[in-house]
Amino acid sequence: TAHGGCGSEVRPTLIYFFTSGFSQVRQYVVQVIFSVTFAFSCTMFELIIFEILGVLNSSSRYFHWKMNLFIILLILVFMVPFYTGYFIVSNIRLLHKQRLLFSCLLWLTFMYFFWKLGDPFPILSPKHGILSIEQLISRVGVIGVTLMALLSGFGAVNCPYTYMSYFLRNVTEADILTLERRLLQTMDMIISKKKRMAVARRTIFQRGEVHEKPSGFWGMIRSVTVSVPGSENLTLIQQEVDALEELSRQLFLETADLYATKERIEYSKTFKGKYFNFLGYFFSIYCVWKIFMATINIIFDRVGKTDPVTRGIEITVNYLGIQFDVKFWSQHISFILVGIIIVTSIRGLLITLTKFFYAISSSKSSNVIVLLLAQIMGMYFVSSVLLIRMSMPLEYRTIITEVLGELQFNFYHRWFDVIFLVSALSSILFLYLAHKQAPEKHMTP
């Protein structure tokens, strides 16, 4: 039921992203690359579920793992970087005729830095060849795990900050009216100064001064800096108008923020709001525990050997002293847990990618942005497999470990803990400063 409920949340996000997002992407090859990357990324998660449930023969699952990893690495390392460079060069007119040559040069540059990325990290046994799958996965894993840790650290802190009513500042109707009054006064000042500029330009035009064309560079400078006797200094007024317009934009955003905060306060009083407030406290405890465990893992160079579900059941059974089939229930609970992790990861990443796409996309850059998002998504999901492997019981990791090769799995978990800790502490500091400065900003007259 939990798995199905999460799935119903993923479907609208998928439809929204693929219909609205791809409507701005004109190149068919870009749509195909993104769709294939997403399909094979989800197939990896499906194969993880198959490992737990024992679906298909072991040899068949091993073959599909190999084929899936080979195709997605081919896309992430060769196809996406090449086409990204190709569309970047295509947007530059001077390089348009030689875009294939410059695309190859950009791809070779990417490959150089991609390969040098693995040098500082102890991620691989030196006996593997240059073109082996292990060489590619090890480097993709570093990038993907770093991205996952950054998002997880920020999400672990931002989630309780967003849901808990404790962090909501008190907003009254008087605060909103005061800010709206400042906004209206600023707009009146902008209109008044623009009227003065219009009157000054009309006066200059009536005197025939508009026909005096400045000659040379110093003439142009003089025409915009020197005011005519008896007229307004248009340059000075324009600077004041620009400053007031910037102030009006800030006041408008602050007013919208106050309205949103007021709505959140009213929403927190409803039954659903109280439910999310409870979730906020739960995630706060989880955030503190996760930061504490990440610190312990880093200090003592510790990596768990047993998956959390099996370990938790064993501790509970030993403490209570009851008869319990640990192996049977760990399989079913691991299936539910991994399913929830997979669905929430997909949904969260798609929502983030959708917001990012609409924030920076344009008609010229949409192809490049979608390819970069496909690159991020593929690396994110490949790295998820590396980390989810530890959440599975030992007997279900065999094929995944064989397919991924002799990677230094312990390094990726330690690296995740380091980046997660840095991201979480930085997010706490940032949100603390933002929460502290927000009341002061809105209380200024």
Q: Are residues 246 and 325 both part of a single domain?
A: no
Residues of the chain below pLDDT 50? 1-11, 13-16, 19-20, 210-211, 213, 224-230, 442, 444-445
Q: Are residues 253 and 389 both part of a single domain?
A: no
Where is 274: in which H helix or E strand?
helix 271-299
Q: Are residues 178 and 164 both part of a single domain?
A: no
CA 397-403-407 angle, 5° bins? 85
CA 68-356-415 angle, 5° bins? 55
Overall number of domains in the chain: 2
What CA–CA distance (Å, rounded) separates 400 from 47?
A: 9
Q: Are residues 97 and 135 both part of a single domain?
A: yes
Paired with 124 in beta bridges are: 407
Decide: 45 and 386 in contact? Cβ < 8 Å.
Answer: no
pLDDT of residue 109: 92
Q: How many CB atoms lie within 10 A of CB 96?
A: 11
Decide: 243 and 249 in contact? Cβ < 8 Å.
Answer: no
Residue pLDDT, tens place only, 354-365: 666 666 666 667
pLDDT of residue 38: 87
Q: Are residues 69 and 128 both part of a single domain?
A: yes
pLDDT of residue 437: 67
Q: Are residues 230 and 158 both part of a single domain?
A: no
Q: Are residues 38 and 142 both part of a single domain?
A: yes
- Please list, in sequence order, all residues whose beta carbon lies within 8 angstroms of the beta carbon of residue 404, skipping any fewer than 6 positions away: 69, 134, 137, 385, 386, 389
Q: Are residues 164 and 177 both part of a single domain?
A: no
What CA–CA distance (Å, rounded) separates 205 from 272?
A: 64
pLDDT of residue 185: 92
- Domain stops at, among 206, 238, 265: 265
Where is 358: in which H helix or E strand?
helix 326-360
Q: Are residues 366 and 230 both part of a single domain?
A: no
Q: How many CB atoms lie within 10 A of CB 26?
A: 11
Residue pLDDT, tens place only, 93-129: 777 778 888 889 999 998 888 888 777 776 665 565 5
CA 72-76-77 angle, 5° bins? 115
The pTM of the full predicted model, rounded to 2 decimals, is: 0.64
DSSP state for residue 395 in the 8-state scheme? G
Q: Are residues 239 and 284 both part of a single domain?
A: no
Expressed as residue numbers, the domain containing 67 is 2-168+273-443
Q: Are residues 247 and 372 both part of a single domain?
A: no
- Domain stops at, among 265, 295, 313: 265
Q: Are residues 191 and 162 both part of a single domain?
A: no
Beta strands per DSSP E along 319-385: none
- Domain stops at, among 211, 244, 265: 265
